[in-house]
């Protein structure tokens, strides 16, 4: 079954045309999707690299990996190798599976519909769910453990650092006052107690949820290591494409890529000096794409 025939049943990937153009996907190329999700971008990469192209897909979420596996195997049996792991280990995973050097690496740092809409995940403030927020539910501390055990000052600093939430101290104080918190509903009540109910463009829970998710999954540290690992596995002329969704991610990606592009000697060439954003039409079709930012570089 083609990617076009299955796409409507899955999470809708963002900046698809721009990502494939940036990767310069070609027949017979080898590519790594380091944040596979449900396989939206990966299915299109496989489609564009027929007949001999291959793909290594990596994801920390076992459920997403299983979903993508069914999708990609139905498209092109044996063309995709899927590995449960974190993008921070991209270099070791690629080498261990004989999948290096490669023609391109893609990192889409957004949440999938599977994660946002899953009943036991706690990623969304729009549903009352257990406070988990782990991409990999087989290991690591949950969001519930953080909000129920951190000292008030540490919790406030976490929310401010990773959520850029200026009302972090009031929110932390309200969370501590409502302990124990077990569900997203409990967390929402604490946030609303501190800052009020929804008003304006950004929901009052958005930044606190972002902060907890980043902390639970160590996202920024893993991203830094993943960017470094991607450079190790790219062949000369290979492309690295990164799609980020909030300012903390994008600043980290921008700084890392610029350092590698202007170092002595440089390891990268900036393909686009300006960030690539979704078109107005895409944002209207898919509201989740509105904050997406794509950066692309080429290995020297």
188-213 residue pLDDT tens: 999 999 998 766 678 899 999 999 99
Residue 11 scores a pLDDT above 80: no
Tell me, yes or no, whether 94 and 20 share the same domain: yes
- Exposed/middle/buried for residue 173 (C-beta within 10 Å: 0-12, 13-18, 19+): middle
Task: Report the chain's mean pLDDT, rounded to a whole number.
Answer: 92
133 Rama sector, left if φ>0, alpha if ψ -120 to 50, beta otherwise: left
Tell me, yes or no, whether 231 and 171 share the same domain: no
Residue 20 scores a pLDDT above 80: yes
Instruction: Kindly report the number of other CB atoms within 10 A of residue 196's CB atom.
Output: 10
Owning domain of residue 88: 3-114+219-299
Tokens 């280990």 correspond to: 89
How many angstroms separate the CA atoms of 183 and 174, rounded?
15
Nearest Cα neighbor of 45 from 67, 62, 30 is 30
Instruction: Kindly report the number of other CB atoms within 10 A of residue 135's CB atom.
Output: 24
Taking residues 170-199, report their average pLDDT.
93
Tell me, yes or no, whether 174 and 241 share the same domain: no
Q: Tell me the three state secondary structure of residue 97.
A: coil
Phi/psi of residue 264, nearest 5 degrees:
-125, 100
How many angstroms separate the CA atoms of 149 and 155, rounded?
9
How many angstroms separate the CA atoms of 37 and 59, rounded?
6
What stretch of H or E contains 119?
Answer: none
| CATH classification at residue 181 | 1.10.150.170
Higher pLDDT, 198 or 166: 166
Tokens 């921070």 correspond to: 88
| CATH classification at residue 12 | 3.40.50.150
Tell me, yes or no, whether 229 and 168 share the same domain: no
The domain total for the chain is: 2
Tell me, yes or no, whether 209 and 61 share the same domain: no
Any idea which of 95-104, 188-197, 224-233 has the lowest mean pLDDT? 188-197
Tokens 């270099």 correspond to: 91
What stretch of H or E contains 81?
Answer: strand 80-84
Residue 111: predicted pLDDT: 80
Residue 113 scores a pLDDT above 80: no
Tell me, yes or no, whether 147 and 82 share the same domain: no
Structure tokens at 45: 């990469």
Residue 23 scores a pLDDT above 50: yes
Tell me, yes or no, whether 54 and 202 share the same domain: no
- Banded pLDDT at 5 (limits 50, 70, 90): very low
Tell me, yes or no, whether 239 and 181 share the same domain: no
- Exposed/middle/buried for residue 262 (C-beta within 10 Å: 0-12, 13-18, 19+): exposed
Residue 12: predicted pLDDT: 80
How many angstroms separate the CA atoms of 25 and 27, rounded?
7
User: 288 vs 79, 133, 150, CA distance in Å?
Assistant: 29, 18, 31
Residue 114 scores a pLDDT above 80: no
Any idea which of 29-43, 114-128, 131-145 has the lowest mean pLDDT? 114-128
Residue 83: predicted pLDDT: 98
Residue 8: predicted pLDDT: 38
Taking residues 51-68, report their average pLDDT.
95
- Banded pLDDT at 7 (limits 50, 70, 90): very low
């Amino acid at each position: 079954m083609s990617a076009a025939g299955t796409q409507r049943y899955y999470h809708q990937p963002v900046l698809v045309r721009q990502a494939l153009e940036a990767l310069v996907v070609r027949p017979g190329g080898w590519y790594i999707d380091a944040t596979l999700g449900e396989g939206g971008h990966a299915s299109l990469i496989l489609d564009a690299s027929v007949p001999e192209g291959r793909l290594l897909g990596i994801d920390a979420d076992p459920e997403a990996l299983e979903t993508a596996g069914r999708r990609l195997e139905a498209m092109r049996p044996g063309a995709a190798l899927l590995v449960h792991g974190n993008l921070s280990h991209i270099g070791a995973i690629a080498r261990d599976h004989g999948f290096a050097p490669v023609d391109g690496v893609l990192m889409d740092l957004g949440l999938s519909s599977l994660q946002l809409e899953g009943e036991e995940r706690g990623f969304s403030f729009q549903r009352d769910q257990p406070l988990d927020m782990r991409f990999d539910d087989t290991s690591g501390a949950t969001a519930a453990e953080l909000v129920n055990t951190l000292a008030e000052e540490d919790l406030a600093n976490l929310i401010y650092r990773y959520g850029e939430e200026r009302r972090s101290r009031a929110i932390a104080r309200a969370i501590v006052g409502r302990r124990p918190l077990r569900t997203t509903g409990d967390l929402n009540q604490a946030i609303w107690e501190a800052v009020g109910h929804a008003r304006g463009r950004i929901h009052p829970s958005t930044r606190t949820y972002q902060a907890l998710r980043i902390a639970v999954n160590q996202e920024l540290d893993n991203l830094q290591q993943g960017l470094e690992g991607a450079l190790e596995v790219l062949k000369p002329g290979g492309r690295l494409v990164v799609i980020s969704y909030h300012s903390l991610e994008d600043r980290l990606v921008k700084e890392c890529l610029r350092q590698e592009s202007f170092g002595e000697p440089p390891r990268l060439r900036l393909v686009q000096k300006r960030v690539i954003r979704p078109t107005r039409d895409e944002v209207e079709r898919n509201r989740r794409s509105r904050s997406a930012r794509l950066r692309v570089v080429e290995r020297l």
